[in-house]
Structure 1
Amino acid sequence: MASTIASAQKSSVNVTSELESMTTISNLPKYTDAVVKQFSSYDTTGNNDDGFSGKYSFVRKNPDSSLVIFEDKGAGVINRIWTPTPTNDTLDFYFDGSKKPSYSIKFSDLFSGKIYPFNLPLCGNQVGGYFCYFPIPYKNGCKVVFRGKKLEFYQIQYRNFGKNARVKTFNPNLSASEKAAFEKLSSSWKAIKENILSSPGIETIAVDKILSPGQSLSLVSLSKPGRFLGFEIENAKQFEGLEKLIDIKITWDNENQPAVYLPLSDFFGYAFGKISMQSLLSGTANNTNYNYFPMPFEKNAKVELIYRKGISNGHAEPLTIKARCYFSPLPHDPKTEGKFYTFWNSDKNAALGKPHVFLQGAGRGHYVGTILQAQGLNPGMTLFFEGDDYTAIDGKMTMHGTGSEDYFNGGWYALLDRWDRKMSLPLHGSLDYSLPFSRTGGYRLFLADKMPFQKSILHTIEHGPEQNNKPADYTSVAFYYADRAISTSQLPDAKNTMVFVPDTMMIYPQLMNLSFNGQATIDGNNFIGRNGAQIRVDLQEIPNGKYKLYTDLETAADGAEITFWQRQTKISEPISFYSTQKEVKKKMFLCDLDINEFRNTVTLHFKNDKAKNRVNIGRLILVKSKP
C-alpha cells in the first residue's frame, strides 16, 4: 500500500498505512489532499498565557468539570500529541460517536513507554518535551477528554479526510500487520541508507574534486530524468566556521531559479557554523553530511558547490570535496508528486512587530521540514524563544503553537536536562542552547503529518512572547515539495551568512559548569564555602579575549569575603558580600579576565570565616574589552 494517501476516499487509512507512511521515505514527494490542523493551548488574546494558567487549555468544560481538549468530525487520524506538562490524570478517547470512552490511558503513559504501542521511537521525552507520534485513526469522529482538574500546555495535530473516507478506527490491541509495521519502522529508520542502496536501478555517483576560494564546482550534472535518493559529503568539519562560505545550489529541469540555494552548513543543520543536527533525513554523522530527502526531476538536474570569498582577513584554503550521490532512474510524475525545494531566510535584526517567515507563497505542495537558528541581539535570557508558530493553509489558519521550543517538541529552555543543549532525535531536536551567546535553534521533520496546501501557505514564528518585540537574528530553512518554487530565497553573501558573536555574555547559575574543592556547596543562587573552600566556574564556551567581569549580587549578614583566581593567579582584590541588611546590587564590577585556551576558568576562593560563608550571585556578566 502506498504510504502517502493521495486520496483517502480511494485508499484505506489505518495504523498500518500510517506507520508505513513514516517508513517509506520514497513516497514523501507524493501529494496528499488531507487537511492538517491542530488543537493547542495557545492564548487566543495574543498574550503569552499559552498553558501556564490552563485558561486556554481546553475546547470546553463538561458538567463534571472534565475538559474536552480535542474534537473532530468525520474520518481522520491524530498524528502528534505534545506536552511539557504531562500528568497522571486519565485521557478518554471517544471514537465514532460513542457515548462511552472507547479507550482510556493516563496522560503520562502516552510518553512513558509503559503502555504498548506508545513506545520509542514514536513516543518518549527529551529536551523538555513529551511527544507521541503513534497514529490514532478514527472512522467517524473523535473526542478526547482530560479527566484532571487542570491541564497546562498541549498540542494535538491531526489530519481530516472528510465523511466518506475508508478508515479503520484505532484499537490498542494491534493486529499482526500493525505490529509488523511498527517493528519495521524502528529497523527501517536505523537502516535508511541500506534501504536506499537496495532501490531498483540505483546508481552511485562518486565525486573527488578540489574546490578553491572564489570558484564553483559542479558536483553532479545529469541530462536524463530520475531522482536523487541521497547525498553524502565527507569531512564535514571543513565546512565549519563563522562565515559559512560554502553554498549548495541545486537546479531542476532548467528552471529559472534554483530549487536549493543556501549555505551548505545551514542545509545540513549546522548550528551557528558548527556541526549539530542528526535527524532521520538530514544532518551530520561520523564527520559526513547526509541528506536523504527524495528529489525527483523530469529532464535534468545540476548540483553545484560555490566557495564565496569572505570578509575576514584570514587566508581561505582549497577544500577537497569527496561526495556520493545516489541516483534512481524513476522519473518525476508531475500529476502525483512535487519536486523538492528549500526556502532560506536569513532574517538579520528581524523587524519588530512582524513574525519570522518560514515559508510563504502560492502554489500546490506540502511542507516537510524546518531548521531554525535563533540569535538574540540583547544579552541574557532567550526570551525571544517564547514566540508562537502560526500556519495558514489556503488562506485559513490551521495551526497555532504555544512557544518556539514547543514547535520542536521541546520545553523549558534554560533548565538543566531540558532544552539546555543540542540533542538530536529522528524527527526533531535542539540544535544548540547557549545562555552566554543568547542563542538556540531546533529542527522538525513532517512525515505522515506533512502539511499540504492546494493554493497557498503561510508558516511563521514569532520572536518574543508578544508583539514580536525581541531583537534577534533568525535564520531558517524550510523544506517543501511543490509543482514549482513558491518563494525565492535571498542570495547568500558575506553579510547575511556571518554568525553574530556578541561582545557581552551572561552566565546564569542554573547552567553553570562548576567544580568544587573543600567544603563548598551551591543552593540555587547561593554559593557556600567553609574553611577556605573554592568553587570553579568553567568558561570554555566564552571566546578568547580580554573581558571585564560583573555580577548581580545580594549582600547580607552572612556574606562571605572572596577573591577571584585564574588557575594559580589571583586576579582580584578581596570582595565582600557582607552587609548588616540584605541589599541587591546590579552589575557590580568584580575583576578583569583574560580568557584563552589555557585560562578558560575563574575560581572563587572563600575567606575562612564560619559565620560569613555565603555568596549570592544572580548571573555573571562578561563584557569584552575594546582593543
Structure 2
Amino acid sequence: MKKLFTILLLSASLISCAQNKTSINNCTQSKVLTYEKIIESTYDIPKLAVLPPKGEKTALASSYDRRSKYDAKTDSYLEWRANGDFKGVVRYEGEYAVLADIKGPGVIWRTWSASVADGKVQVYLDGKLVIDLPWEDYFSGRIAPFNRKGFVYTAARGKVNYTPISFQRSCKIVTKISKENTEKFTFKKGIGVWGKFFHFNYTVFPKGTKIQTFKMELSPAENKALDKASKILSDDLGKNPVKYKNTKTENVVLTIPAGRSKSLTLTGKEAITSLKIQIPKRKHYTDLLRQMTLSIYWDNEKSPSVWAPLGDFFGTGWGINEYKSLVMGMGKLNNQYSIFNKKCSSESNNPIIHKSDNPNAFEFYSYWYMPFEKNAKIVIRNDSDKEEKITLIVDHSPVKVL
C-alpha cells in the first residue's frame, strides 16, 4: 500500500490570531499568536487565499555543500556541481556545529533528514535549551510531542517531522561534532554522530509579531489541538478539513461531444470550497485525463485564470495514480480495489457493485479555496475524438472573512 502523502501548508499566511480570526498583521501589540493557532494553521486552507504581510519571509536552512556559491561581482556561480550536501553547516563553535541560526519571531514548519543516528541535536529557542534529543528521536515517534503519525513519518526514504517549532526571538540548532570530524565523517551508530543531511523549513514573521515559544511539554489544550491536526493529516485525508457555513452543492452529469465544451456557472460573492470529478469505469484512463481540460473564469474575464488537462489539475500527469493529500487526491469509488482498500487483491477481484452504488469508478477531489467577487464559470472541454461523460460536483459558500 502506497504511502499517503500529506501536503502541509507551510505559510504564515495561513495563520490567524486570536479567536476572532484577526490577521497576523495585527499580532503585534496586544495579541499573541498561540501555539494552538499555529497548529490550526497546518490545515486552515482558506488562509492560502490571503497574501503574506510585508516583512514575512519563508526560507530553508539545509546541509547543502557550502562550496557552491554565487559571486555577485562577476554574476557567476562557483563550484555549482559540488555535491557534498550531507555536511554543510552555518559555522563551527568549538566542538559544536551550528546547523541553523534564525532570528525571530518565527516557526520551523518542517524538519527532515535522509539518515539519522543517535548523536544529539540541540535546539535553543530564545536562548534557552528546549529540545535535547538524539537526532533519530526527532523522527522515531517515541518522544512526545513528536509522536503524531500525521506529523512524523517516513516518505520517499526521508524522515520528516512537521510538528511546528515556534520562537519569539531566535532559534539556534547545534550538534556536537567538530569540523575535523565532519570532514572525515563516517556514519556509524553508537559513536555519538547525529547523521547525514538536514532541512529546516521556516518562516520569519514581521518585527513586532508576538508568538508563543514552543516547549516540549504541551498543555492539555495544545495536545488536543495537535491530536486533531494529526488526525486530519492522516486518518481523515480525503475529507475536507474545513466546515463552511451555508454551503451549496452543484452535482451535474456532463455528456460532452467530441471537440465541444460544457460549463457550470456560479454567481454571487462566494468561494469554491470543493471541486470533484467522477468518471465511469473504462479500460484506459490516460487519454481521457489528457484530452479533457478544465478551465475556470472569474468575474466575466475573457481568458481563464485556471486551465489544465483534467489529470494534471488533480495532480496526476500520466494516467491515474491514487493518492491522498490535504487539498487534492484521487481514488476509486464503491469500495473497489485500490491502494486504500486491502479487502481486494486485484482488479479482477472487485466486490459486487450494487444498483444503489455510484456508477462511476474514480473520483478526483480538490479543496483549494477559490473566492470570486461576481461569478465563476467552470468549463470542461473534450478534445478527444468521441463523446465523453463525467460527473462534476462543486461545493460553494459565501466568502469567509479571512
Question: What TM-score, normalized to structure 2?
Answer: 0.73
Alignment equivalent of 2:63, drawn from 26, 41, 50: 41
1:335-375 Cα offsets, whole Å, 9 max, x none, are x6xxxxxxxxxxxxxxxxxxxxxxxxxxxxxxxxxxxxxxx
CA displacement at 1:242 relative to structure 2: 4.7
CA distance in 1, matches of 2:245, 2:121: 45
Give the aligned partner of residue 212 of structure 2.
Answer: 168
Letter paired with 2:168? K
The answer to whether the Cα contact below 8 Å between 1:3 and 1:22 also exists between their aligned partners in 2 is: no
State whether residues 27 and 209 of structure 2, in contact with CA within 8 Å, keep that contact through their aligned partners in structure 1: yes
1:235 is paired with a residue of what secondary structure?
Answer: strand
Which residue number corresponds to residue 13 of structure 1? 33
Between the aligned residues of both structures, percent identity stands at: 28
Residues in 2 aligned to 1:241 and 1:201: alpha-carbon distance in whole angstroms = 37
Q: Distance between the aligned counterparts of 1:200 and 1:103, measured in 2? A: 40
- Map 1:93-492 → 2, pairs under 5 A: 93-98=123-128, 101-119=129-147, 120-148=149-177, 149-150=181-182, 151-189=195-233, 190=236, 193=239, 196=242, 198-218=243-263, 220-235=264-279, 240-242=285-287, 244-286=290-332, 287-309=362-384, 316-330=385-399
Tell me how far 1:303 sits from its aligned partner: 0.4
In structure 1, runs of 5+ residues without a counterpart are 310-315, 337-627
1:46-77 Cα offsets, whole Å, 9 max, x none, are 1141524x2xx21011111x210010123111
Q: Deviations over 1:364-421 (max 9, x none)?
A: xxxxxxxxxxxxxxxxxxxxxxxxxxxxxxxxxxxxxxxxxxxxxxxxxxxxxxxxxx
List per-residue Cα deviations over 1:111-146 (Å, max 9, x = no partner): 110111112111111211111110100111110002
Q: Which residue of 2 aligns with 1:78?
A: 108
How far, CA to CA, are the matches of 1:221 and 1:67 in structure 2?
58
2:53 maps to 1:24 = no
Mark the runs of 5 or more structure 2 residues left unpaired by the alignment.
1-18, 69-78, 183-194, 333-361
Q: Deviations over 1:307-360 (max 9, x none)?
A: 114xxxxxx4322211210010226x7xx6xxxxxxxxxxxxxxxxxxxxxxxx
Matched residues in 1 for 2:23 and 2:368: separation? 15
TM-score by length of 1: 0.48
Contact 2:118-2:135 within 8 A present in 1 as well: yes
The structure with the largest alpha-carbon Rg is: 1
Query: In 1, distance between residues paired with 2:132 and 2:34?
Result: 19
How far residue 89 of structure 1 moved from its aligned partner, in angstroms, is: 1.1
Aligned CA distance change for structure 1 residues 264 and 37 (closer, same or farther; 3 Å): same
The offset of 1:24, in angstroms, is 2.5
CA distance in 2, matches of 1:210, 1:141: 58
Q: Deviations over 1:529-554 (max 9, x none)?
A: xxxxxxxxxxxxxxxxxxxxxxxxxx
- Contact 2:238–2:324, Cα closer than 8 Å, also in 1: no
Counterparts of 1:208 and 1:194, CA distance in 2: 22
Contact residue 12 and residue 167 of structure 1 kept, 8 A: yes
The Cα of 1:257 is off from its aligned counterpart by 2.7
Task: Measure the CA separation in 2 of the matches of 1:301 and 1:71.
Answer: 45
Change (3 A) 1:264 1:291: same
Contact map agreement 2:237 2:324 (CA 8 A) in 1: no
SS in 2 for 1:272: coil
2:122 and 2:389 map into 1 onto residues whose CA distance is 58
Q: 1:203 to 1:236 in 2, by over 3 A?
A: same
User: In 2, Cα distance between the equivalents of 1:292 and 1:236?
Assistant: 22
Whole-Å separation in 2 of the counterparts to 1:153 and 1:8: 35
Structure (1/2) with the larger helix percentage: 2
Q: 1:250 to 1:329 in 2, by over 3 A?
A: same
User: What's the secondary structure of 2:251's corresponding residue?
Assistant: strand
Q: Distance in 1 between matches of 2:97 and 2:280?
A: 50
* Change in 2 beyond 3 A, CA 1:267/1:131: same
Q: For residues 285 and 322 of structure 1, do their structure 2 counterparts lie closer, same or farther at Cα, with a shift above 3 Å needed?
A: same
How many residue pairs are counted as aligned between the two chains? 319
The reply to whether residue 59 of structure 1 matches residue 90 of structure 2 is yes
Please list the CA deviations of residues 244-270 of structure 1 after superposition, one character each: whole Å capped at 9, or x if unmatched. Answer: 101100111123431210101111112
- Is the deviation greater in 171-180 or in 232-241? 232-241
2: CA distance between counterparts of 1:15 and 1:109? 22
Structure 2 CA distance, aligned partners of 1:228 and 1:167? Answer: 32
Taking the aligned partners of 2:267 and 2:123, their CA distance within structure 1 comes to 53
SS at 1:193's partner residue? Answer: coil
Q: Say if 1:95 and 1:297 are closer, same or farther in 2 by CA, change over 3 A.
A: same
Change (3 A) 1:136 1:195: closer
Q: Is the 8 A contact 1:6 1:31 kept in 2?
A: no
User: How many Å apart are 1:236 and its aligned residue?
Assistant: 6.8
1-structure distance, mates of 2:156, 2:251: 37
SS of structure 1 residue aligned to 2:39:
helix
CA distance in 2, matches of 1:304, 1:294: 18
Taking a change above 3 Å as real, the CA distance of residues 157 and 194 of structure 1, as seen in their structure-2 partners, is: closer
Higher RCO (Cα < 8 Å, 6 or more apart): 2
